[in-house]
Amino acid sequence: MPAFAMEHSPARYHADFMIYAVAVVSLVGWLAWKAPGGMGPGLAGLALSGLVAWSALEYALHRFVLHGLQPFARLHGEHHRRPAALIGTPTLVSAPLFGLLVALPTVWLLGPWRGGALTLGVLAGYLAYASTHHALHHWKLRSPWWRARKFAHAHHHLLQPCCFGVTSCFWDKVLSTGGHPTRRRTAAPVHIPVVRRRG
C-alpha cells in the first residue's frame, strides 16, 4: 500500500498510535525535566488548553472537513461504507500538519516551553481521539461512558449528519448536532461492526 493511502496495513495503522504516543511521552518528559522551575502549573494549564482546543478541532474537522469538503468527504465516506477497515489519515500527512499548523506557530508565539505545552495538549487530544475511534470500531467495552460514546458514534454512522464528536459530546450539545434525544431514548440499539481481536 502506498505511504499516503487512506487504507493502511495493520502495521502502518498501529504505528500511527505508537508515533503519537512517543511524541506525547517525549514532550511530557522534555517539559518535566528541562522547563525552568516554577513553570509547572502554567505549563499544565496550557496543556489542558491544548486538549480543549483539540476537542473543538476534532468536532470542526469531522463536521466541516470530513463531511463537507472534497476530496476529504469522499475519502471519509469510505470509512462510513467500511467501518471496520483500517482507514485513517496517514502519519506522513498528519505529523507535518501538526508541526506546521500547531507546533511552529505556538512555539513562535509563546516560546518553546509554553508552545511545547500547548502542542502537547493538542497531540494528547489527537491520540485520545484516534484511540477512542479505533476502540469504538474494534473493541467491546462495557462502561456507561463507553456505551454512550459507542451509541453516539453508531448514531453518526447510521443517521448522519449528527454526533460529530468522537471523544466527547460537548460540542454536539452546544451546537445542537447530537441527533434527536427523544428518538435516541426509544430507538432500538444500533451497533457498529466490531472486529474481534485475536488471541
Residue with cell 475511534: 133
Whether 109 is in a domain gets the answer: yes
pLDDT of residue 191: 45
In a domain, 27, yes or no: yes
Distance CA 157, CA 148 (A): 14
The answer to whether residue 50 is domain-embedded is yes
| 199 found inside a domain | no
Q: How many CA atoms lie within 13 A of 65 on its CB side?
A: 8
In a domain, 194, yes or no: no
Length of the chain: 199
Q: Tell me, yes or no, whether 1 lies in a domain.
A: no
- Dihedral of alpha carbons 175, 190, 166, 71, sign: negative
pLDDT at residue 180, as a whole number: 59
Domain carrying residue 75: 10-186
- Blockwise average pLDDT, block size 10, the chain, 199 residues: 66 90 97 93 96 96 91 84 84 93 97 97 97 89 87 84 91 87 40 48
| Cα–Cα distances in angstroms (integers) from residue 92 to residues 19, 73, 147, 167, 195, in the given order | 11, 19, 32, 23, 26
Taking the CA of residue 186 as centre, how many other CA atoms within 13 Å lie in the half-sphere pointing to its CB? 3
Segment 73-82 long-range contacts (CB within 8 Å, at least 24 positions apart)? 75/6, 78/6, 78/7, 80/157, 80/160
pLDDT confidence of residue 140? 85
Tally of structural domains, the chain: 1
User: How far lies 144's CA from each of 141, 147, 149, 186, in Å?
Assistant: 9, 5, 9, 18
